[in-house]
Each structure stands twice: as C-alpha cells, then as structure tokens.
Structure 1
Amino acid sequence: MPVSPRLDVAGELLALLRDTTTEPRPDDQLEALTLAVAADLPVLLWGEPGIGKTAALTQLAESLDLPLTTVIASVHEPSDFSGLPVVGDDPSEQGVAMAPPDWAVRLVRAGRGLLFLDELSTAPPAVQAALLRLVLERRIGALRLPPGVRIVAAANPRSSAADGWELSPPLANRFVHLQWTHDHEVVVRGLGGTWPRARLPRLDRKKLPEAVGLARRAVCGLLAARPKLVHQLPNSETRRGGAWPSPRSWESALTLIAFATAAGSSRDVLSLLVRGTVGDGPGLELLAAMDRMDLPDPETLLADPAAAVLPERGDLRQAVLDGVVEAVRGRPAKARWDAAWELLARAARTGAPDLVVVPATTLATLRRDDWDVPAAIEGLEGAVALSRRADRAADRSAGRLTDRSAVAAKAGR
C-alpha cells in the first residue's frame, strides 16, 4: 500500500531535522575516549540517563568509520556471551561446541567495528560474570574478536538505573571509567545542527620511545615508593564497581600515559584517563609524581641561575625553590648560597613573590659567619616585608575574632 502523503511530508521534516554536521572542537572527555579506544582498552562511560552517551558512541563510530554493533546487556542471557552449546555427531570424540551469537559472527566477518555494550549497570550478576571473558579476552563462545574491534560500554549510576545493579569488582576493574557529562555550549550548538567531531589522536612516531619510557618511570617510580598502591580493593560495594588500583589497572594506566604523551594531550585529558583506571586518589598521586619528574634539577639551576627557567605553576615553582635550598643545605658553599639567592630573586621577579618567603627564610639560616650578604637579597626585601605585614594582619584579625568570641561567651552566661 502507498504511504500516506501526510507521512511523506513528515518524513521530509524528519530528514531535515537529522541533517546535521560536525566541526573540530576541543573536548577533553571526547579526546580521552578516543585515546582509550586507540589504545584498545575497554571503556565504560558513566552518566545520568539522557546525557548523550549513546549519541556520543554513534558519532564516534561514524567519525572513525567503524560499524557500530549495539548490545543491551541486560536483555541477554549469560549463554549469549559465553556461547550456546551445540551437540555434534559424536560429542564424546568432538566435544560440544559453543556457538557464538549472530552479532559476534558479523563482527568477525567485518574484521573491525565498535561493540557498544549499553545499559551495563542493569545487567544481573550472572550476565556480568559471562561478560568477563568478552571484555578481557575478546572471546564469545568459540570465536575471538579480531584486533580491529573496540569495546565501549555505557552505564547509569545505580540510583538512576532501571532495576540497577552495582558492577562486580572483576568486571569493573577491566574498564577505563570515564564520567560523561554535558557541556552546555556543545549541546546548544549540537541542537543547532553542529556537533563536535571525534578524531583518533595523531601519535608522533618520534615520541614513541620517549612516551613509553616516561610512562614506565612514572608508574614504576610511584609503586616503588608506595607499594600499598599496587592493589587496593575498596571497602564499599559502590567504589568496587568503579576504578580502583590493581596490577591490571596500573598496566592500563601505563598504556594510557604513553598514548597521551605521544599524542601531546593536555594534563586534563591525562587526568581523566589516569583517574579512570586506578581511581581518584592513586591517580592524583601519579599525576603529582609525574609533575615532579619534569622539575628541573636543582644542581643545574645552581650552576647557571641567570639562565634558569622556573615552572609557571605555583606549586611546582615552590617545589623547585625548596629543592634548591635543600641542595645548598646538603652541600653548603658560598658560591652555591649566592646562586640560590639569585634564583630566589629571579623567582620573585617572574612570579608570585610570596612563594619565595619560606625558602628565603630557610636559606638565610644556612649563612656562615664569613659569608657576605649578596646583593640579590635586596630584591627580596619587599616580598619578605609584605609577607610579614600580611602575617601580622592575619594575627591581629585572629586576635580580634578570639576577643569577640570571648565577649560573646561572657554575654551568654
């Protein structure tokens, strides 16, 4: 039967509404997602219903020219992922084959694709257990997914999931967990017809050895100093269903650091990836350790203070200046003491002057009786005096607050 003319017009209108375009646009969470996909690590997007997780995966598949296969985990049986037993002519001789589902066969035939496991937090424990082999080993029944297939899942928090379950710790520890949130400007432009374009990161071939070396030094250095971080299973059920440190997740973190370094990604993107593999606490410790790895050597700075390049970030600059003072303390000499003062004066001229107050005070206590005061100290007098005035003002303010509290207490008696 012919379609109603009214529905023809409705179809034209729907086609116009679906006619959208894309644009290159910086997006940290989208870049983190594409990096994890490029690194061939399973990714789990966490977000409230309607936040755009499915739309992001659809657009990612289109941008990467990968066929998208969507599987709703909660509507499948465990056998759909472990394989259905098929009895042959002679089971005692040939065994019982485990037949894979049709979507797995299509992925193998295509040789590539994006497997999207949606609504993962609504899958019961038995289905989650069956997914373990799929997510880690890429096996479904007797089939093994080809290297060109990537796995991405999406889940709602249990509080907003339909009949939701917490993720089991073994399954959760296999994923890179990314918190998916909406960007107001992206949503407005997208509804206007222009969405951000997902692109695979450009890896600099020349940086590959350096990226691997940096990742290994960062992870191994932290775990050597903090052995308890190697494996920490969280106490609460909710936290066990997220990112937490284990040898497996540290290996994923190492991989992602190498990829982010080779791609020249920002610290914000690296932070999303690292915290998404080993959790917020261990991830922040790792990022701090990486920051310290990039700090200049105090001995290099003392050897040529006039050419010193100090970090822009205040916390890193403070760490460098403290390291310089400790280097002078460890090997005191008049020339090194003078060079340290020159560095402090340079720091006061090029950054926040209050950062030099503590190292300057410590450095002053290292002076020997026969050491003349260097001229560089004159440039620090203003900063030290200003800090002292601020401290005295804070003390007076605290004293007034204490007095007022005492008066109020007496009045209340």
Structure 2
Amino acid sequence: MFRENVEALYCTLLGNIPVILWGPPGVGKTATVSYLAKTLGWHLEVVIGATRDRTDFGGFPVARDGSVDLVPMPWVKRLIEAGERSILFLDELSSVPEDVRPALLRVINERCAGDVYLPGRIVAAANPGNVAVGGLDLEPPIANRLLHLEWTLEPKEWALGMREGFDTLYPPLPDPKPFAHEVEWAREMVALYVERNPLHAYMAPKGEEAGKAWPSYRTWDMAARALGVARALGFKEGVQTTLVVGAVGRTGYSFMTFLQELDLPDPREVMKNPSLLPSRDDRTYATLMAVASTTAGEWNAEAWRAAWRVIGYAAEMGKADLAVPAAGRLLRALAQAREERKPSFPVPKEAERFLPLLNKVAEMRR
C-alpha cells in the first residue's frame, strides 16, 4: 500500500492535481513529499496551517498611494521564484482555525495568495480527527477540491525501513512523460460511465463523509486526469484505482469495475489486426478512442495509417457512428501537429466518409 501511495502521489504532482494525505503522525507523509521533491528537483515550501493566520494566506494589507495592497509573505515569494517546479505543502490542514479557512480555500481553489498567483503544485496533509490537535472536519468546498489518499505504513514496511534504511521503501519512479492523450481517453471513459450512471455524477454526502472524497463534476474531471497520468506512466491497476477512489470516493470502485468489464484489447494489437475490434458497441467505442489516443501520443506515419485502417474496418462493420469521435480525434491531432510543426501525414480515403458526419457534429455544437 505504501508503494502504491507513493506512485499515486507522484502522479498527482506531475498532473498538477491538488492532493491531501490522510494518516496518523509518523507514517512518512512529510518524508515522502520531501523525497519526491528531491527526486524531481523541485523547491518544497512547508507551511503548517495550524500556526498561521489569515494574512499568511491572504496577504498583509499595506496602504500605498491611497490604496491598499495585499503584500505576499516570504513563503509566497519563494514559491514564485521557483515557478512551476515547486510544491506548497500545507501540513495539518484539518487543524487550520475556522476563520483562516476561507483564505486558505482560495489558495487551494484558485492558486492565489492575496493578489499573487502560485504557479506550483499543492499537497496537503492531515491527521484523522481522533489524533489531530484541534482537528476539524474539512468543509465540503475544501474537501471537494482535493484528491484524498489514505496514508499508511504497515509494520512489515516499517521493519524493512529500520533494517535497510527508509529510502528503500520508495519504489523506482519513471521519468515524467507526456500524458495529454491518455487523459483525453480517460475523459471519454468517465463521460461514458457517467452517461450510463447519471446518479453517480454528483453525490454530495452528509456528515463526516462530506470532508473526504465524493463524486462531483469537479472530482470526476480530477479522476480522469489522475487516471490518464497513471496510464501514461505505466502504473498498474492498483495505483489507478487508488487515484480514482481518492478523487470520487467509493463510487470510483464502480467506475474501475466498469473499465474491467469492458475488457478492452490492447489498442496496439488492434492496430496490427483490426479484426480484434470488439463487436459490442460500448467496447467498440472505447477501443476506437484508445486507438486514436495511442496514435496521437506516438505520432508516426505507421501508427497513423494503422489507426485509419481500424476506423475503416469499424465503418465496414456498420459502426461508422461510433467511429466518428475517434476520426475527429485523429484529425484534431493532425491539425495540432501542423501547428506545432511536427510531421504531417496525408488524410487517407477512409477519412472521407467521416467528414460529412464530423461537419454535422460541428454544426450541432454551434
């Protein structure tokens, strides 16, 4: 579990997803954030919310030339100097005084401290209520802006760290990779799931659960982004599930089961052999989108031609309507490649049959 949590936290940092680590004192929350900051070569700024007041997050008011400026605190200036390669670690978040939380909410939600934009990542940590000093439940507006990770350290993991050094508990982490195309695929899967399960789109809980992860339009978007990053980095299903559940709560298990039941083939194998394209409509659609995302990510002539062969095969199966979004995805990738002066490939004949459908979709969206 500890290794999966480290990998999940790594994904949130690369994906720029605000995250909170829940766990009792002494289980390695702060140490892990410090380790990842060092691994990435990023600046780490630790702020203990329980010892701060509103001016620490909202800025100190100073009168100048007939107006009032909100002067940022030194920790804000250090983060600005570090730029995007920085982490703001908000420790003891659940112990922040109630009158300070509105200013802190703006830091988390808008990345602003007073009048200053904070360019880096945000990680928070909190102790469970039964062990937190002055601990309070998080208000739903704060909780719903964070991905929640339950942080634990098993006795056998601690014993291993004692014997061999605690750095040995950290798994080897892949280098950062582009993840935009995998995120787009994940968004499609989330949209497909929510369309089939509309009651799961927004489920505001009551009581203590409102201070943890729960489904909303914001957190589903967060889940898709986290899932896409994890897939791009090659992390296994356990990490993917940890991230999705951390974003939308227990409903995330239902979504991950939905993905498992789709039982999608490897898009690269389908590109080699289009006859592997599933016949069931939802599986067809999901596989076609995976083929388009894979092609956009790899972006070479061979993948481009193979993707269109798959789309042409789908049309021959009488599923041209399901292939339209994938065809549009490929054409958008081509336009983007031309703008970025990447290699450009000719539009094949298979694309011609989709142009009228794509034009109709564009007209409907106007």
Amino acid across the alignment from 1:273: L
Q: How do 1:326-341 and structure 2 match up within 5 A? A: none
Alpha-carbon deviation of 1:213? Answer: 4.3
Q: 1:130 aligns with which of 103, 106, 109?
A: 103
| TM alignment of 1:306-321, pairs within 5 A | none
Identify the match of residue 57 of structure 1 among 33, 49, 70: 33
Q: What's 1:223 paired with?
A: 194
Distance in structure 2 (CA, Å) of the matches to 1:212 and 1:233: 25
Check whether the contact 1:218–1:289 (CA below 8 A) recurs between aligned residues.
no
Deviations 1:326-372 (A, max 9, x none): xxxxxxxxxxxxxxxxxxxxxxxxxxxxxxxxxxxxxxxxxxxxxxx
Counterpart-to-counterpart distance in 1, 2:57 and 2:2: 37
1:134 to partner: Cα distance: 0.7
Percent identity, please. 39
2:50 paired residue number:
74
Structure 1, residues 266-294: CA drift from partner, whole Å, max 9, x if none? 111011100000001x1011101111222
Query: Which residue matches 1:102?
Result: 74
Return the alpha-carbon distance in structure 1 between the equivalents of residues 166 and 133 of structure 2. 31
In the alignment, what sits opposite 1:292? 261
Quick check: 1:278 aligned with 2:248?
yes
Structure 1 residue 40 and structure 2 residue 32: aligned?
no
* Letter paired with 2:252: G
Once residues 189 and 48 of structure 2 are traced to their aligned partners in structure 1, the CA distance between those partners, rounded to angstroms, is: 38
The superposition leaves residues 205-264 of structure 1 with CA deviations (integer Å, 9 ceiling, x where unpaired) of 5x853x23431222111111111222111021x101000111110110110111111112
Mind listing any 5+ residue stretches in structure 2 that lack a counterpart? Answer: 266-275, 279-366
Correspondences of 1:166-315 after superposition (within 5 Å): 166-192=137-163, 193-195=165-167, 196-197=169-170, 201-202=174-175, 209=181, 211-236=182-207, 238-280=208-250, 282-295=251-264
Instruction: For residue 134 of structure 1, give the secondary structure of its aligned residue in structure 2.
Output: helix
**Amino acid in the other structure paired with 2:245:** R
Alignment RMSD, CA only?
2.3
Please tell me whether the aligned partners of residues 133 and 140 of structure 1 are also in contact (alpha carbons under 8 angstroms). Answer: yes
* Aligned AA (1:125): E
- Give the partner amino acid of 2:159: V
In 1, Cα distance between the equivalents of 2:99 and 2:224? 31
AA at the equivalent of 1:259: V
The answer to whether the 8 Å contact 1:60/1:198 transfers is: no
Query: TM-score with structure 1 length normalisation?
Result: 0.60
How far 1:79 moved relative to its partner?
Answer: 2.2
Alignment gaps of 5+ in structure 1: 1-24, 297-306, 310-413
Instruction: Decide whether aligned partners of structure 1 residues 212 and 293 sit closer, same or farther in structure 2, where only a CA change above 3 A counts.
Output: farther
Measured after TM superposition, the shift of residue 140 of structure 1 is 0.6
Q: Give the conservation status (yes or no) of the 8 Å contact 2:2–2:151.
A: no
Name the aligned partner's letter for residue 38 of structure 1.
L
Distance 2:122 2:52 in 1: 17
| Matches of 1:174 and 1:194, distance apart in 2 | 31
Q: Contact conserved, 2:2 with 2:152, CA < 8 A, in 1?
A: no
Output one character per residue of 1:368-402: Cα deviation in whole Å (capped at 9) or x when no partner.
Answer: xxxxxxxxxxxxxxxxxxxxxxxxxxxxxxxxxxx
- Check conservation: 1:46, 1:156, Cα contact below 8 A: yes
Instruction: Choose 1 or 2 for highest CA Rg.
Output: 1
Q: How does 1:350-389 map to 2 (within 5 A)?
A: none
SS in 1 for 2:99: helix
* Alignment partner of 1:162 is 2:138: no
